[in-house]
Amino acid sequence: MKTLRTLVAFIKRDFLIEVSYRTSFLLQAFGIVFSVLIWYFVSRVVNAPPTTPGLEGVDYFAYVLLGLALLHYLSSALMSFGGKVRGEQMTGTLEAMLLTPTPIGTIVLGSSLWEFLLTSIKVIAYLVVGRLFFGVVIHLDSLLPALLIIALTVLAFSGIGILSAAFVLYLKRGDPITYLVASGSALVGGVFYPPEDMPRWLGGWSHLLPITYALRALRRALLRGSRFSELLPDIEVLVLFVAVLLPIGILAFRFAVRKARQEGSLVQY
Amino acid sequence: MSVAILAENLTKVYVKRRSLREVALRPFRRAEPVTALSGLSLETRTGEIFGLLGPNGAGKTTFLKILTGLVLPTSGRALVIGVDVAQDDRAVKRSIGFVTSDERSFYWRLSGRENLDFFARLYGLDAASARRVSADLLREMDMESVADRSFMSYSTGMKQRLAIARALLHDPPVLCLDEPTRSLDPIAAKHLRRFVVDRLNRQRGKTVLLATHNLPEAEEMCSRLVVLDRGRIVRQGSVAAITAGLPGRDHYVLSVRGLEAPPSDPRWRLEVERQDDGIARLAAEVERDGRAFSDLLRAILDSRGTIVSCARREPSLQEVFDLMEPDPGGRIG
């Protein structure tokens, strides 16, 4: 309960900072509309039939809309943990927070929450704009499984994000893993096109990335209204990713904190 | 009187991280260790203002960072209100308020009140208590009228007062001040010193650990202090006790009537200032050998001088620093 109250304080802090940049809020809303428009016109040029392998029987615009939405979650998870730690190190506020009894894990999690909240708002905006203005059919009866898939996806991505924060704490620089996962996911994870359409030697890498399973399951749930049993195989793989990546991230983070305290470099950047 | 802070044989050795170039050129060479604290032992009593005095790189900040859990000691232990920092740093953080002179440790786009509210929540206060405590502290710091202005619009003095307010949010018994007046003008610095001594220490009974390289500040505020140099304590006790045991020479100021020529001897050095009333003021620097001062007085009397007054001048802490050996380099703060 106390931790929850502290996390709410972080959200309030970041909300106040966000609204202090008045135009930024407005520009982000415009950005979503522009992004949807761009991909709408791209999809008209691409004009891929729903029978294309990997499109799961859905229209290409709907396919890419879901891809973009989940890519935002991936970016948030990968960038926000490490990015926030580095940002707070550089502004000098990390030391002030570490002087309080709040555990460092709560500080890192709390600092990232606003980013996730903002991303969730963006994702909802993407879907609402897609549905209202471009006729994308969203199966709201599959909302619960979709939320479960998103939660598992965020947790799996967060494992990598926390690993990235560990790198930042110890090495003071962004890590190569974040870059590889972010680029790899965009390239072969099925965000903009199905990995099945890629050469086997390249598309095969998609099996190693959580976003592949997350996107497939989410598209099936929200765009096709698939039954839970059809989603289960991908959900199981996501659970496996969470079970592996989250403990690795947390262990690496603990190790980094201890090493940084030993070296006296916790607040250096 | 109970012990507020206890350090026992505290040592901190940093290992300099090697650059990629160094690793490539000398892959098997071990990283160079740098000792920031070496067997430091000290004890501060509840309710006193205790000074950590030393030049830059003496180890003051490292010691404070160990006390606040930001740095782990290599060996030895540190206790705050009886709790070992290495065992339970969260409990220690509830007992310590830390004030730095770093203005960057606040959110510049938030107001002073919003900053305090946020940090109060990190100290475990609920929303209502956080608002109440923040408001009380802003009033105490005389910042009520500017509480809702953004932090970036504050003067340096206001920022420092807000830093003190933040350190008091959880009402800790111990306050660590790391060069709190470093960037303040003399008037603001004086006000801050008075606030710490009168309000925090005398009225509210806070134990204060003051790290400074400002000698007059330490002399004015601290009941006891340690002088650190290269991670070791080179002097400790009250200001008077520290300066009393200095090797070298003692300093006296004498007023002498009828002195024709100042007596000369290699064991003393005199600076003479003649005044209109026929009295000469002598600033004497005398070798501490047990006899030299008596011989000087005798020499003055023999030359028909009458000693009107004589006072010993305590050496300042600057002279304590001056007597320390110069550092060859490679210090860590």
Instruction: With a cut of 70, say whether residue A269 has pLDDT above it.
Output: no
pLDDT on residue B304: 84
pLDDT (tens digit per residue) in B108-123: 999 999 999 999 999 9
pLDDT on residue A174: 60
Number of folded domains that form chain A: 1
pLDDT on residue A10: 95
Q: Do A93 and B107 touch (CB under 8 A)?
A: yes
Question: What is the rounded CA–CA span in Å between residue B18 and residue A57?
Answer: 56
Residue A268 lies in a domain: no
State the smallest CA–CA distance between residue A222 and chain B in angstroms.
39
| Strands across the sheet containing B83-84 | B33-45, B3-15, B75-80, B83-84
The closest of B219, B222, B247 to B234, measured between CA atoms, is B247
Q: Does domain B3-243 have CATH number 3.40.50.300?
A: yes
pLDDT mean across residues, chain A:
88
Q: Is A173 on the interface with B (CB under 8 A)?
A: no
Residue A228 lies in a domain: yes
Phi, psi angles (nearest 5°) of residue A169: -60, -40
| Mean pLDDT confidence for A258-263 | 85
Residue A57: pLDDT band with limits 50, 70, 90: confident
Q: Do A266 and B71 touch (CB under 8 A)?
A: yes
Q: Do A101 and B90 touch (CB under 8 A)?
A: yes
Q: Is B126 on the interface with A (CB under 8 A)?
A: yes
Domain ranges (residues) in chain B: 3-243, 249-314
Residue A243 lies in a domain: yes
Instruction: With a cut of 50, say whether residue B328 has pLDDT above it.
Output: no
A-chain residues within 8 Å CB-CB of B98? 99
Residue B330: pLDDT band with limits 50, 70, 90: very low
pLDDT on residue A130: 87
Give the A window 247-266 contacts with B, CB below 8 Å: 258, 261-264, 266
Looking at this predicted complex, what is its ipTM?
0.85
- Taking the alpha carbons at both ends of chain A, their separation in whole angstroms is 33
pLDDT on residue B332: 40
Residue A269 lies in a domain: no
> B321 or A59, which is more confident?
A59
pLDDT (tens digit per residue) in B237-295: 887 777 666 666 788 999 999 888 888 898 998 888 887 778 889 999 888 777 889 99
Q: Do A95 and B102 touch (CB under 8 A)?
A: yes
pLDDT on residue A245: 93
* Closest chain A residue to the Cα of B163, Cα to Cα: A96
Pick the residue of B35, B37, B93, B121 with the most A CBs within 10 A to test the interface with A by mutation: B121
% helix, strand, coil for chain B, step of 5: 35, 30, 35
| Mean pLDDT confidence for A154-167 | 89
A-chain residues within 8 Å CB-CB of B122? 6, 9, 97, 100-102, 107
| Mean pLDDT confidence for A3-8 | 90
Reading the block at residue B14, the tokens are 């940093």
B107: nearest CB among A17, A100, A266: A17
DSSP state of B195: I
Count CA atoms closer than 13 A to B255's CA, side-chain side. 8
pLDDT on residue B325: 52
Domain range for A112: 2-263
Pick the residue of B34, B85, B105, B125 with the most A CBs within 10 A to test the interface with A by mutation: B105
Instruction: With a cut of 70, say whether residue B15 has pLDDT above it.
Output: yes
Residue A44: pLDDT band with limits 50, 70, 90: confident
Q: Is A24 on the interface with B (CB under 8 A)?
A: no
pLDDT on residue B8: 95
Residue A82 lies in a domain: yes
Residue A54: pLDDT band with limits 50, 70, 90: confident
- A116-125, B76-85, B303-312, B314-323: which has the highest mean pLDDT? B76-85
Q: Do B71 and A264 touch (CB under 8 A)?
A: yes
What single letter denotes the amino acid at residue A20?
S
Q: For residue A48, how many other CB atoms are within 10 A of its CB?
A: 17
**DSSP string spanning A19-42?**
HHSHHHHHHHHHHHHHHHHHHHHH
Residue A45 lies in a domain: yes
Whether the Cβ atoms of residue A130 and residue A62 lie closer than 8 Å to each other: yes
Instruction: With a cut of 90, say whether residue B196 has pLDDT above it.
Output: yes
pLDDT on residue B329: 42
pLDDT (tens digit per residue) in A13-36: 999 998 888 787 778 878 888 888
**B249-314 CATH pick, 2.60.40, 3.30.1150, 3.40.50, 3.30.70:** 3.30.70
pLDDT (tens digit per residue) in B124-173: 999 999 999 999 999 999 999 999 999 999 998 899 999 999 999 999 99
Q: Is B105 on the interface with A (CB under 8 A)?
A: yes
